[in-house]
C-alpha cells in the first residue's frame, strides 16, 4: 500500500519537476542575444577588450570579441559605457544564516538562538531571499559552507535548479564536519543534542570517513571542515581521512582554519582551500603555494566591522575609537597575511563569509564589500576580478562551465558601470545580470 502511494507521489513529482525545469530553460530561449558594452574583462586574460560583444544562444556563450558581427535575428542589449564581466563567484557564503552582529561577543549565543528557534524550512526560505539578493548584486554562483541546519542548503540549491525561484548556482556543503561541540563553545549535556542540528561531530578517522559518506548521501557537492572549532580541534589523521574520502568521490574540501596548527593540518592533509587563515605562518603558505591550495580570505574593512557592530545606530566618537582600536590589529594582520600569500604565489579565491545583518546593504551588496578589503591589501582590481571569477570556478571544480567569458561556457554575464580597473567600488554596482542566458536584471 505504502509502496504504491510512494510510486504515485514520485511519478507526480517527476511530472511537476519536468514542467518546472522546462519553464526555467524556456526563460533562456528567446533566440540569439548580442550583448554590447564599451569594455569586457574575460576573467582569464589581463587584456581589456574594447567595443565588446558577447553572443549568447540558449544558456551558453557562442562568441566573445571586439566588434563581432551581429546577426539580424539577434536581440541586441546595448549597455553603453559599462564593462562586461563573468558573473561573480562567492566561494564562502552562509545563505541560510543571518546573525545580529550588534553584540559580537555573544556570537555563540546568537548561533544557539538561530538553531534552537528557526526550523531548517524557515532558514531555507531566508536563503531564498538572500540568494536572490546575491544574484541581483552579480553573484551568479556561491559555495555555501554550512550553518544551514540539516541540509537546508541542498533544498535551496535544488529549488533554484528546478526553477522554483531565482538564485545563484549553489555548491552545497550540507552540515560542516567538526570535533566535539562544533562551533558552539561549551554546552551543558542537556543542550548538546543541538550541536548535531548544525554540525556533524567526528570521533577519529573512521568516523570522519563516515561523516563524508553521510554528507555525500545528503546531497553535498563539497565538504566543509571546521579544523579549529570551539573548543575542540580536528586532528591530522581525521583531516587526512576526510580529504581521502572526499577526493575519492571527486569532491573538494574546504577547511576553516586559523593559526599555525590548524592551517598546517589543513595544508598537510591536502584540503582544496583554507578559509580565513587570519593567522598563518609562511611555512604553511609555502605548502599551500606548492600544493595549489586556495586561500579564501574572508576579510572586512574597518567600515564593515563598524557597521556590523553598531547596526543602524550612530555610535558616539568614543565608541567609534574603541571599535577602531579593537579591530585595527586584526585588520592589519589580515592585510599582512594576504600580502604574504600573494607574494608566495598562493592561489586566491574570493569569499565573503557574510552572515550578519548589515544596516546599509542587503546580503548581495554586503558580500561584495570584501573586494575593498582585498584592495586595501594591495590586490589590483584585475587580480580581484580574477579571484572572484576564474579562480572561484577552479576552486569549485566548475571552470569548464563558468568563471570566464568564453565560447561554450554558460552565459553567466554581468556588467558594471564605467571601468572597474580604475576603482573596485564599481564592482559593487552591477547594472546587468544574466544567469545561464536568462536576463535577471537590466537597469538602463
Q: How far is the CB of 284 from Zn ion (least distance, A)?
A: 19
Part in contact with Zn ion (CB under 5 A); list of ranges 63-71, 352-360, 386-394, 417-425? 352-360
Residues 231-250 that bind Zn ion (CB under 5 A): none
- CA–CA gap between residue 287 and residue 410 (Å, rounded): 33
Q: How far is the CB of 146 from Zn ion (least distance, A)?
A: 7
C-beta of 85 vs 200, nearer to Zn ion: 200
C-beta of 113 vs 313, nearer to Zn ion: 113
Part in contact with Zn ion (CB under 5 A); list of ranges 176-184, 227-235, 284-292, 346-354? 346-354
CB 170 within 8 A of CB 153: yes
C-beta of 128 vs 145, nearer to Zn ion: 145
C-beta of 299 vs 353, nearer to Zn ion: 353
- Total residues at interface with Zn ion (CB under 5 A): 1
Q: How far is the CB of 353 from Zn ion (least distance, A)?
A: 4
DSSP assignment of 134-166, as one string?
HHHTTEEEEEE-S-STTTHHHHHHHHHHTTSS-
Task: Tell me the residue number closest to Zn ion, measured at CB.
Answer: 353
C-beta of 74 vs 107, nearer to Zn ion: 107
C-beta of 79 vs 356, nearer to Zn ion: 356
Q: How far is CA 170 from the centre of its chain?
A: 8
Omega prior to 231 cis, within 30 of 0:
yes
Q: Which residue has the cell 555525500?
A: 216
C-beta of 254 vs 439, nearer to Zn ion: 254
Strands 49-57 and 413-417: unpaired
Q: How far is the CB of 71 from Zn ion (least distance, A)?
A: 46
Q: How far is the CB of 385 from Zn ion (least distance, A)?
A: 23
Strands 49-57 and 33-40: antiparallel
- What is the pattern of x (binds Zn ion, CB under 5 A) and - over residues 271-300? ------------------------------
CB 239 within 8 A of CB 255: yes
Q: How far is the CB of 357 from Zn ion (least distance, A)?
A: 16
Q: How far is the CB of 297 from Zn ion (least distance, A)?
A: 12
Q: Is 353 in the site for Zn ion (CB under 5 A)?
A: yes
> Which helix (DSSP H) or strand (DSSP E) does residue 383 occupy?
helix 381-387
**Residue 227 is placed in which grid cell?**
579544523
**Residue 374 is placed in which grid cell?**
582585498
CA distances 217 to 20, 151, 158, 272, 284, Å, are 25, 11, 15, 21, 32
- What is the pattern of x (binds Zn ion, CB under 5 A) and - over residues 205-234? ------------------------------
**Residue 343 is placed in which grid cell?**
607574494
Part in contact with Zn ion (CB under 5 A); list of ranges 26-34, 302-310, 345-353, 380-388? 345-353
- CA–CA gap between residue 377 and residue 337 (Å, rounded): 9
C-beta of 133 vs 353, nearer to Zn ion: 353
Q: How far is the CB of 95 from Zn ion (least distance, A)?
A: 11
Q: How far is the CB of 145 from Zn ion (least distance, A)?
A: 5
How many other C-beta atoms lie within 10 A of the C-beta of residue 250?
Answer: 8
Q: Is 98 in the site for Zn ion (CB under 5 A)?
A: no
> Which helix (DSSP H) or strand (DSSP E) does residue 262 occupy?
helix 260-269
CB 59 within 8 A of CB 102: no
C-beta of 209 vs 256, nearer to Zn ion: 256
- CA–CA gap between residue 122 and residue 118 (Å, rounded): 6
Q: Which residues bind Zn ion (CB under 5 A)?
A: 353
Amino acid at each position: 500500500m505504502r509502496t504504491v502511494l510512494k510510486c504515485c507521489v514520485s511519478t507526480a513529482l517527476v511530472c511537476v519537476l519536468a514542467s518546472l525545469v522546462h519553464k526555467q530553460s524556456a526563460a533562456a530561449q528567446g533566440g540569439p542575444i548580442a550583448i554590447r558594452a564599451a569594455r569586457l574583462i574575460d576573467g582569464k586574460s589581463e587584456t581589456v577588450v574594447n567595443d565588446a560583444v558577447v553572443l549568447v544562444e540558449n544558456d551558453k556563450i557562442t562568441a566573445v570579441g571586439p566588434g563581432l558581427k551581429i546577426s539580424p535575428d539577434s536581440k541586441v542589449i546595448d549597455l553603453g559605457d559599462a564593462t562586461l564581466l563573468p558573473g561573480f563567484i562567492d566561494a564562502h557564503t552562509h545563505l541560510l544564516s543571518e546573525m545580529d552582529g550588534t553584540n559580537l561577543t555573544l556570537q555563540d549565543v546568537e548561533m544557539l538562538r538561530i538553531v534552537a528557534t528557526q526550523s531548517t524550512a524557515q532558514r531555507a526560505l531566508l536563503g531564498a531571499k538572500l540568494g536572490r539578493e546575491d544574484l541581483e548584486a552579480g553573484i551568479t554562483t556561491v559555495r555555501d559552507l554550512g550553518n544551514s541546519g540539516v541540509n537546508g542548503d541542498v533544498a535551496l540549491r535544488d529549488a533554484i535548479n528546478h526553477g522554483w525561484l531565482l538564485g545563484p548556482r549553489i555548491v552545497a556543503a550540507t552540515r560542516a564536519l567538526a570535533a566535539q561541540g562544533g562551533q558552539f563553545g561549551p554546552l551543558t549535556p542537556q543542550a548538546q543534542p543541538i550541536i548535531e542540528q548544525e554540525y556533524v561531530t567526528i570521533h577519529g578517522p573512521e568516523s570522519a570517513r563516515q561523516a563524508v559518506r553521510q554528507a555525500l548521501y545528503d546531497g553535498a557537492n563539497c565538504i566543509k571542515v571546521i579544523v579549529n572549532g570551539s573548543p575542540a580541534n580536528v586532528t591530522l589523521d581525521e583531516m587526512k581521512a576526510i580529504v581521502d574520502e572526499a577526493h575519492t568521490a571527486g569532491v573538494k574540501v574546504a577547511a576553516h582554519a586559523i593559526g599555525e596548527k590548524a592551517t598546517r593540518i589543513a595544508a598537510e592533509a591536502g584540503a582544496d582551500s583554507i578559509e580565513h587563515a587570519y593567522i598563518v605562518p609562511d611555512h604553511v603558505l609555502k605548502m599551500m603555494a606548492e600544493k595549489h591550495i586556495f586561500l579564501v580570505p574572508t576579510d572586512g574593512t574597518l567600515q564593515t566591522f563598524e557597521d556590523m557592530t553598531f547596526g543602524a545606530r550612530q555610535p558616539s566618537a568614543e565608541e567609534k575609537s574603541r571599535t577602531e582600536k579593537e579591530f585595527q590589529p586584526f585588520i592589519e594582520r589580515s592585510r599582512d597575511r594576504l600580502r604574504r600569500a600573494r607574494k608566495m604565489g598562493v592561489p586566491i579565491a574570493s569569499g565573503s563569509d557574510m552572515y550578519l545583518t548589515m544596516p546599509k546593504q542587503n546580503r548581495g551588496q554586503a558580500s561584495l564589500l570584501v573586494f575593498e578589503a582585498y584592495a586595501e591589501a594591495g590586490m589590483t582590481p584585475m587580480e580581484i576580478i580574477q579571484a572572484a571569477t576564474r579562480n572561484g570556478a577552479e576552486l569549485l571544480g566548475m571552470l569548464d562551465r563558468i568563471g570566464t567569458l568564453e565560447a561554450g561556457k554558460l552565459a553567466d554575464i554581468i556588467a558594471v558601470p564605467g571601468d572597474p580597473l580604475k576603482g573596485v567600488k564599481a564592482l559593487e554596482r552591477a547594472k546587468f545580470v544574466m544567469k545561464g542566458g536568462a536576463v535577471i536584471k537590466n537597469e538602463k
